[in-house]
């Protein structure tokens, strides 16, 4: 059978000493100790032999002795030496150290266990984060949706208390219901909406400021919304003929804005950029341009500037469309004098303060234009009353005030009030007359409206009226 060396290949020649042919005694190698192919590998044995336990050959094992009388298992040594076999001595065999090496399965298991622990920790953190986020989202949705769950709940307010509700423009039934619930007027949006449908009032609900009482019947609330606003606390009604100062007093009384603040804000230079018709004014005054109208500031914290802008915008709406250019041309042709838009406003303010009826307006207008054309002074008590703030005395008519039209010809520096559109129209189109005087008395006991062409006729009217020296001469 092949020898161990034959099975190991030609490399065995380098590890064995040669024996002489036929010699049975082994020859000891002097330079080195016997060696095996691999100290850690099992010893190869002829087939049929059992391996000793532990892969270590016991001492005296005959398999480690030379094979006597046989050369079939030996390989001739190279070189000139005789053929010999290497003796395998058990004392030279070194057993491997007792080191336990993990196989690949065990390493995989242990690595998997480490990965599993790390994954467990990571998953714990992830699940905790997800749980915290879910809690935050739940709480957020709870507080966000809670008002919707209770939108029909009645606010805890005492019944029978008067409250103000401002319905904005364009508000629908649902928005109005929410405003009413918030104010405590009603306690159920569904009941309100049902009543709106019952009265077929969806398109009839009006915006504006209302006075309601808490705990009202929805039916009565809907009826009031159909009728329209009933709260006048935020409404400002400006009549014709007021000065800036009197308008400021009215604003203070109605809206609570100090009159001094209003007067301070009433400067044309602050608004001329938005309202070009103010470019002609004198003394930076807004006299004549605070449009007479009813304004609704309900539910608004309006300032003096807000109110003034509303009035100027209304003036532009109501008066801006009049035929200013055509009127100026007609007046110049009739009286030979060139007039500006501002002149027409000033003339209209005089008419506003002097005329008391619609019939009087164009006649009073013709008197003033005729006097100007004749080179006369306007001689209007009303212009001096603008300065005195009340009745005019004979001493007042001696004043050098530029508003004293008895001694100064032409127009006053500014209008003396805000005229109505009717007075503006009368100033644009005066009656065709030759009148130079008028006498008008409306004191509750008498109503005298006389127009004359001469001063003597004028004095006759005064005498006939029982006046002996005090007159309403113009």
CATH number at residue 192: 3.30.1490.480
Distance CA 292, CA 315 (A): 8
Distance CA 24, CA 319 (A): 148
Which residue, of 46, 72, 99, is where some domain finishes? 99
For the chain, the C-alpha Rg in angstroms (whole number) is 61
Domain that holds residue 84: 1-99
> Do 314 and 330 lie in a common domain?
no
Q: How far is CA 317 from the centre of its chain?
A: 31
pLDDT recorded at residue 51: 47
* Total domain count, the chain: 4
pLDDT recorded at residue 170: 87
> Of 429, 353, 408, which is closest to residue 386 (Cα–Cα)?
353
Distance CA 199, CA 214 (A): 21
pLDDT digits (tens, 9 = 90+) for 130-173: 877 887 777 777 666 655 555 544 446 688 898 888 888 889 99
First-to-final CA distance of the chain: 162
The first and second tokens of residue 34, run together, are 């016997």
The first and second tokens of residue 369, run together, are 């234009």
> Do 201 and 78 lie in a common domain?
no
**Residue ranges of the chain with pLDDT lower than 50?**
1-41, 43, 45-55, 68-85, 152-155, 468-469, 471-473
> By the 8 A CB rule, do 187 and 152 touch?
yes
Contacts of 92 (CB under 8 A, 6+ apart): 33, 34
Residue 122 belongs to some domain of the structure: no
Q: How far is CA 260 from CA 227, 239, 249, 250, 291, in A?
A: 37, 20, 9, 12, 19
Which residue, of 176, 205, 227, is where some domain finishes? 227
pLDDT recorded at residue 204: 92
Q: How far is CA 324 from the centre of its chain?
A: 43
Residue 140 belongs to some domain of the structure: no
> Do 337 and 303 lie in a common domain?
no
> Do 220 and 293 lie in a common domain?
no
Residue 129 belongs to some domain of the structure: no
> By the 8 A CB rule, do 385 and 393 touch?
no
Task: Using DSSP bridges, classify how beta strands 447-452 and 437-442 pair: parallel, antiparallel or unpaired.
Answer: antiparallel
Residue written as token pair 């150290």: 97
Element (H, E) at 341: helix 341-354
The first and second tokens of residue 27, run together, are 């020859």
DSSP-derived letter for residue 407 is T
> Do 245 and 359 lie in a common domain?
no
DSSP annotation string for 120-158: HHHHHHHHHHHHHHHHHHHHHHHHHHHHHHTTTSPP---
Which spans in 336-451 are helix H?
A: 341-354, 360-373, 381-388, 421-428
Residue 355 belongs to some domain of the structure: yes
Residue 283 belongs to some domain of the structure: yes
Residue written as token pair 């603008």: 386
> Do 290 and 329 lie in a common domain?
no
pLDDT recorded at residue 138: 77
> Do 362 and 444 lie in a common domain?
yes
């Amino acid at each position: 059978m092949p020898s161990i060396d034959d099975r190991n290949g030609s490399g065995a020649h380098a590890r064995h000493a040669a024996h002489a042919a036929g010699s049975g005694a082994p020859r000891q190698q002097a330079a080195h100790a016997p060696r095996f192919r691999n100290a850690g590998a099992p010893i190869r044995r002829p087939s049929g032999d059992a391996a000793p336990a532990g892969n270590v050959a016991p001492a005296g094992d005959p398999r480690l002795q030379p094979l006597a009388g046989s050369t079939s298992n030996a390989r001739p040594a190279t070189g000139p030496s005789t053929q010999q076999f290497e003796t395998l001595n058990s004392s030279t065999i070194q057993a491997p150290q007792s080191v336990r090496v993990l196989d690949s399965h065990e390493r995989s298991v242990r690595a998997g266990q480490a990965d599993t622990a790390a994954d467990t920790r990571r998953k714990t953190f992830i699940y905790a984060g997800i749980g915290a986020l879910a809690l935050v989202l739940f709480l957020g949705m709870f507080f966000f949706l809670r008002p919707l769950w209770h939108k029909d709940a009645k606010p805890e307010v005492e019944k029978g208390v008067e409250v103000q509700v401002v319905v904005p423009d364009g508000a629908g039934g649902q928005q109005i219901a929410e405003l009413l619930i918030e104010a405590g007027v009603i306690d159920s949006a569904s009941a309100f909406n049902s009543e709106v449908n019952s009265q077929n009032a969806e398109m009839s609900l009006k915006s504006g400021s209302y006075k309601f009482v808490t705990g009202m019947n929805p039916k009565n609330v809907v009826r009031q919304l159909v009728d329209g606003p009933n709260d006048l606390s935020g409404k400002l009604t400006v009549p014709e003929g007021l000065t800036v100062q009197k308008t400021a007093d009215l604003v203070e009384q109605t809206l609570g804005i100090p009159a001094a603040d209003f007067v301070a804000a009433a400067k044309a230079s602050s608004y001329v950029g938005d309202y070009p018709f103010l470019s002609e004014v004198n003394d930076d005054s807004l006299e004549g341009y605070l449009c007479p109208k009813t304004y609704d500031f309900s539910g608004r914290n309006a300032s003096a500037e807000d109110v003034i802008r509303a009035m100027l915008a209304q003036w532009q709406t109501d008066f801006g469309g009049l035929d200013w250019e055509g009127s100026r041309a007609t007046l110049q042709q009739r009286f030979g004098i060139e007039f500006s838009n501002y002149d027409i406003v000033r003339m209209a303010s005089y008419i506003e303060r002097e005329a008391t009826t619609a019939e009087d307006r164009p006649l009073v207008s013709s008197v003033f234009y005729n006097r100007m054309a004749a080179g006369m002074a306007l001689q209007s008590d009303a212009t001096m009353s603008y300065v005195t703030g009340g009745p005019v005395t004979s001493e007042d008519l001696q004043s050098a005030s530029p508003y004293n039209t008895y001694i100064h010809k032409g127009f006053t520096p500014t209008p003396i009030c805000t005229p109505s559109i009717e007075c503006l129209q009368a100033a644009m189109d005066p009656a065709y007359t030759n009148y130079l005087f008028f006498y008008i008395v409306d004191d509750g006991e008498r109503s005298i409206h006389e127009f004359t062409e001469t001063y003597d006729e004028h004095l006759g009217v005064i005498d006939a009226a029982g006046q002996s020296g005090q007159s309403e001469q113009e």
